[in-house]
């Protein structure tokens, strides 16, 4: 057998397989990113923080998510002593910014996006992150979760992308296009945060994570229970401004 003729053929086949794998990963990431860009929506959820300082919060979330930008407002509805605490997060052009408001104080900028959201195991960066839109995407394996054979998608930030994470791995249900587990890694490949999806709901044609369990670097855990989602709502631009954080109101037709 003439190896000089065989080796180029083998090389071309392997290159073709690698290209196909990269294309499949990019297509999967693009699909997940597009599903996230669902316009304006309103969410109500319960946040249970477990650990040395346990707490239970009822939150409302206002968000406007498009391909070019993300705007989110998280506000505490309950308990009474924390009612009105609000966070504004924005991201555009790969740059994130935020503001924090407490009713007894004033609005001030968020200087460190790695700080926790309302003392939970989610950071501000986790909330506003768009890692499915990162340049580097690869399928690095498969694993069965809850009897579902998931594809493991690895996302890495490219040049010009600002992130405290070196990579993010997502275990994707390929039928429903929803992640069942997300792991975020810091420098040196150290696992920093693990997010598990414990309940998935069908909202119209899309499957959405409704319940999440988060474990962060502090050794504690946070559980999120989504109770309500309404899409296609209308927000005033002022609601996504630092001054708008001082007003605690829901979109028309969504209040209890």
**What pairs with residue 224 in β-bridges?**
47, 212
DSSP 8-state class, residue 251: P
pLDDT, residue 204, reads 64
Q: Exposed (0-12), middle (13-18) or buried (19+): which is 190, by Cβ within 10 Å?
A: exposed
Instruction: Write the DSSP assignment of 170-236 as a string of letters.
Output: EEEETTTTEEEEEEEE-GGG-EEEEEEEEEEEEETTEEEEEEEEEE-TTS-EEEEEEEEEEES----
pLDDT, residue 251, reads 86
CA distances from 175 to 119, 141, 143, 206 (A): 35, 16, 14, 11
Nearest 5°: phi and psi at 27?
A: -65, -40
pLDDT, residue 14, reads 36
pLDDT, residue 28, reads 93
Gap between the Cα atoms of 13 and 17, Å rounded: 6
| Residues with Cβ within 8 Å of residue 2, at least 6 apart in sequence | none
Residues 41, 144: contact at Cβ < 8 Å?
no
DSSP 8-state class, residue 129: -
Going residue by residue through the chain (256 aa), what tens digit of pLDDT does each one get? 443 444 433 333 333 433 345 668 999 999 999 888 878 999 999 999 998 889 999 999 999 998 888 999 999 999 999 999 999 999 987 789 999 999 988 899 999 999 999 999 999 999 999 999 999 999 999 999 999 999 999 999 988 788 999 999 999 999 998 999 999 999 889 999 999 999 888 776 678 888 999 998 888 899 999 878 898 899 999 999 999 999 998 887 665 5
In order of their start, the domains of the chain are: 32-246 (2.50.20.10)
The pair of structure tokens assigned to 185 is 């890694």
Q: What is the pTM of this model?
A: 0.86
């Amino acid at each position: 057998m003439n190896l000089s003729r065989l080796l180029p053929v083998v090389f071309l086949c392997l290159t073709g397989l690698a290209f196909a794998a990269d294309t499949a990963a990019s297509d999967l990431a693009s699909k997940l990113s597009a599903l996230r860009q669902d316009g304006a929506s309103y969410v109500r959820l319960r946040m249970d923080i477990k650990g040395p300082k346990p707490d239970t919060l009822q939150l409302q979330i206002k968000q406007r998510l498009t391909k070019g930008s993300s705007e989110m407002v998280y506000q505490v509805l309950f308990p009474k002593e924390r009612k009105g605490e609000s966070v504004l997060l924005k991201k555009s052009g790969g740059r994130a910014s935020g503001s924090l408001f407490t009713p007894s104080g004033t609005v001030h900028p968020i200087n460190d996006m790695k700080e926790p959201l309302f003392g939970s195991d989610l950071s501000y960066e986790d909330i506003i992150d768009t890692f499915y839109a990162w340049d580097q995407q690869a399928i690095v394996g498969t694993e069965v979760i809850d009897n579902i054979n998931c594809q493991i998608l690895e996302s890495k930030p490219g040049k010009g992308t600002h992130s405290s994470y070196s990579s993010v791995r997502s275990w994707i249900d390929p039928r429903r296009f929803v992640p069942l587990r997300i792991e975020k890694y810091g420098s040196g490949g150290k696992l920093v945060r693990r997010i598990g999806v414990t309940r998935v709901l069908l909202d119209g044609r899309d499957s959405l994570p409704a319940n999440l369990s988060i474990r962060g670097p502090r050794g504690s855990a946070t559980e999120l229970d989504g109770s309500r989602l309404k899409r296609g709502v209308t927000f005033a631009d002022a609601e996504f401004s630092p001054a708008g954080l001082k007003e605690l109101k829901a979109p028309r037709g969504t209040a209890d």
